[in-house]
Structure 1
Amino acid sequence: MSAILQDIDIDVVAVLNDTVGTLMACAFKENTCQIGVIVGTGSNACYMEKIDVCEKLKDLHLEKDGLPDEMIINTEWGAFGDDGALEFVRTQFDREVDEQTINPGRQLFEKMISGMYMGELVRVILAHLARLNLLFNGNYEAISKPHSFPTKYVSEVEKCVQYLFVIKY
């Protein structure tokens, strides 16, 4: 039942996302914490910044009295590269994964590093290598279907690293 229906008086004093919550939770225990980072299904970062250097706030002509010295800047860095800044490091595989998404050309950095896309990125690379007959004796049927290689498989393969370096001539 909603707070309104129960006649509960609530004051919303802040709205925050998981990244800011991560920074605040750490800073509660360790007051020198300056950065919050999420690398999971998605990816993002935030950091503490001096209010004096925040250009957007200068334009608002706010009174300094009562303002804190610092604020949290949420970078939303998943969108880094949407302007072309990452083109020099994007691979054909990154592009292929991006083209299959519901938002091609957007959230490029997130697509390159986050868990939501990692399994598909690895699948695309493995299928490419198999088509070149460099893996699986050229048989790539099992990984030919999009999203057939979940990210959890990447972790499982990485756990068995001692078996990855068996070389056959």
Structure 2
Amino acid sequence: MGAYYLDGRLGAGGQGVVYEGYDSEGRRVAVKALHKAGFGDRDMLRKEIRAWRRVAPFCTTKVLHDDLDGPVPFIVSEFVAGPDLRHAVDGGAPYGPEELRRLAIGVATALVAIHRAGVVHRDLKPENILLGSDGPRVIDFGNCPHRRRHRHRRHPHGNSAIHAAPSATAANAATARSTCGDGEPPS
């Protein structure tokens, strides 16, 4: 795809497919092919990429290249060697107190950096948290510009909606069980 060699499929989401790839110098990258992006969607994608580039790269993946003008638009980002939180939890034991604390602090720090860049992450879930060797990376913002008059909706359990996702993420990791996937509360 473009100047990038695609070596395997990493996953798929609402916008397209993510591939493991390599650039011309042999550097490992993630290539997101945006199969469902029509020509009318590309201006919005450009805005999302500009927002993504404003976020401090320590807490997300750095955008290395984008091409939204070709027949299959794509975004190239830094590759994070490690599973997403969903696969780590589904395939392993519950996190201990120190690991859970590191995870929660890393995700909370990432959300602060994302908000400081003027972006609201609208799709925080275990699949969008990559566990790299240097800590968690929050990806796939499903973003929108931060609104000054942002209202916090109340979560049924008393937390505001802005706190529900981080607390659910911590609960997923602590128990090695999903807190929501089937719609039933954890027992």
Structure (1 or 2) with the greater strand fraction: 2
| TM > 0.5 | no
Task: Using structure 1 for the length normalisation, give the TM-score.
Answer: 0.26
Task: Using structure 2 for the length normalisation, give the TM-score.
Answer: 0.25
Structure scoring higher RCO (CA < 8 A, sep ≥ 6) equals 2
